[in-house]
Structure 1
Amino acid sequence: MKSFLYHEHTREELTAKAKQGYMAVVPLAATEQHGPHLPVYTDSLICGHIANRSVLRAASSVPLLLCPLIPIGCSHHHLAFGGTLSFSSATYMQMLRDIGESLVANGFRKIVFLNGHGGNDPIMQQTASDLAVSHPIWTASASYWSVAKEALRLADAEQVGMVPGHAGGFETSAILALREELVHTDRASEEHPQRPWILSGPPGTFIGRHGELTGADGYTDSPHRATAEKGRVYLDVISRSVAEWLVRTYQSMETGERSLAEGEKQENGI
């Protein structure tokens, strides 16, 4: 199978693929503090792995391309802890909009944002909507934990802590599976103050407090129950769920396109 990676193709190849109806997937992540025990590249390592595995799997069924990972996100709420690179929310929205506009200019009519950092989520959703308002294209967007929520529940992922949480048992398990040498297990405390308001509301709601948007000391829960074995299970579950979602999303766009075309024919009496 030819490469599913956008950046491994020439301009002529990409122009041809855009005309053939390929769907472009843009993975979004971050470079930000993850407590005293995880690398600042945690979100990018996890999202990059999920994006590559899921797109590779989905590409065997539908035509799609994986764009380069965007490793810096909207992470201003982490700046006070040090080590963080961040765009402001306004800058991040414009950056995503520019990437979308570039893909439109290149001829792509199906664009998907796949996210791996919570601070990016609302901005990503708004940008996807704005692009579909401005251009005759299809867009979609989702964070990997939203797509894989039920599959992670069945995998009992919450046994290690909050899912996805921030630098807790879940993300620590994932990094142990991907790059164990980057995890400072000697700095991972077994005790962590609980912040009951974090993710306490129903889906789609937000509650937070200045200085503690990501929990005590910049992380949400203790990572002491994390293991590499659990991380491998969670990453596989997520990758499979995201691959299935990408295939369904492409098929929905194609079905919608055919439906619109049929409607136009009927209106024109063809």
Structure 2
Amino acid sequence: GTEQNGPHMVLGKHNVRVKVLSEKIALALGDALVAPVMAYVPEGGISPPTAHMRYPGTISIPDQTFQQMLEYAARSFKLHGFRDIVFLGDHGGYQKDEQAVADRLNREWASAPTRVHALPEYYRTAATAYAEALRQRGYPNDEIGTHAGLADTSLALAIDPRLVRRDFLRSARAPGVDRASEGVTGDPRRASAELGQVGVDAIVAQTVDAIKRATARR
């Protein structure tokens, strides 16, 4: 998706992140291909603006439009012979859309060998195993954050340092200060590529395991 990430991080963070992580996942699996990233996803309402659409730079599409994109991408892959199609969503707002499309197509294709998998492990790991690893290293929840904070920014630095404007990172506001006007939840000032690599490793490992379980031949 294309959304605001505070003044210190690029709008296309999710798009870059899912491309890099999915390639690592595919390499670990050894028998997977990565489709092009869908850069536009549901990010909130437009009139009136809600969620990330309250901040400049965000681009949103309706849930139904996104579901149709997913559906017809999956139909295309099935036509060309793929038997397992995996949706990896880097943003929490459209996980339900991925599951809805997977459920709908799996019902339709019940007698066919093709299956669609909407795996929550990819997205969930950042909020569970990765966040817990940061807490064990002494970082509090209000610093780890849930959007553009320590965890999110560290992941970006591990993926590609060019995603983060370090001059803005150093001047980010301290904990306890309301960052709502900047679209930041958490404190990114102590973010590092080393911390982000912890998240990269966890996301790749847990997603690979989830895909192997989901695609074990029935």
Alpha-carbon deviation of 1:153? 5.1
> Is residue 217 of structure 2 the alignment partner of residue 217 of structure 1?
no
CA contact (8 A) 2:145 2:187 kept: no
The TM-score normalised by the length of structure 1 is 0.67
Alignment of 1:144-159 (within 5 A): 144-147=122-125, 151-152=129-130, 155-156=133-134, 159=139
CA contact (8 A) 1:161 1:170 kept: no
Q: Show structure 1 runs of 5+ residues with no match.
A: 1-29, 196-213, 257-270
Alpha-carbon deviation of 1:161? 4.5
> Which residue in the other structure is 2:26 paired with?
55
- Count of residues paired in the alignment: 203
Determine helix, strand or coil for the equivalent of 2:173: coil
Task: State which of 88, 95, 118 in structure 2 corresponds to 1:141.
Answer: 118
> Which residue in the other structure is 1:105 paired with?
79
Q: What is the alpha-carbon distance in structure 1 between the residues aligned to residue 149 and residue 26 of structure 2? A: 27
> Which residue in the other structure is 1:33 paired with?
4
Q: Choose between structure 1 and 2: higher strand proportion.
A: 1
Q: What is the alpha-carbon distance in structure 2 between the residues aligned to residue 31 and residue 44 of structure 1? A: 7
> Residue 148 and residue 242 in structure 1: after superposition, are their counterparts in 2 closer, same or farther (change >3 A)?
farther
Alpha-carbon deviation of 1:86? 2.1
Q: What is the alpha-carbon distance in structure 2 between the residues aligned to residue 132 and residue 152 of structure 1? A: 31
1:176-210 residue CA offsets vs partner (Å, 9 max, x unmatched):
22222331233232325589xxxxxxxxxxxxxxx
> Residue 156 and residue 47 in structure 1: after superposition, are their counterparts in 2 closer, same or farther (change >3 A)?
same
CA contact (8 A) 1:160 1:169 kept: no
Q: Show structure 2 runs of 5+ residues with no match.
A: 45-50
Determine helix, strand or coil for the equivalent of 1:64: coil
Percent sequence identity is 28
Q: What is the alpha-carbon distance in structure 2 between the residues aligned to residue 54 and residue 74 of structure 1? A: 25
CA contact (8 A) 2:155 2:199 kept: yes
CA contact (8 A) 1:161 1:222 kept: no
- Runs of 4 or more consecutive aligned structure 1 residues displaced over 6 Å after TM superposition: none
Output the amino acid matched with 1:145.
Y
CA contact (8 A) 1:169 1:224 kept: yes
Task: State which of 68, 84, 87 in structure 1 corresponds to 2:36.
Answer: 68
CA contact (8 A) 1:192 1:216 kept: no
Task: State which of 192, 195, 201 in structure 2 corresponds to 1:230.
Answer: 195
CA contact (8 A) 1:161 1:169 kept: no
Alignment of 1:74-223 (within 5 A): 74-76=42-44, 77-136=51-110, 137-143=114-120, 144-147=122-125, 151-152=129-130, 155-156=133-134, 159=139, 161=141, 165-188=146-169, 189-191=172-174, 217-223=182-188
**Most deviating of 115-124 and 105-114:** 105-114
Q: What is the alpha-carbon distance in structure 2 between the residues aligned to residue 217 and residue 90 of structure 1? A: 29
Alpha-carbon deviation of 1:42? 0.7
Please identify the structure whose Cα radius of gyration is greater.
Answer: 1
Q: What is the alpha-carbon distance in structure 1 between the residues aligned to residue 206 and residue 29 of structure 2? A: 10
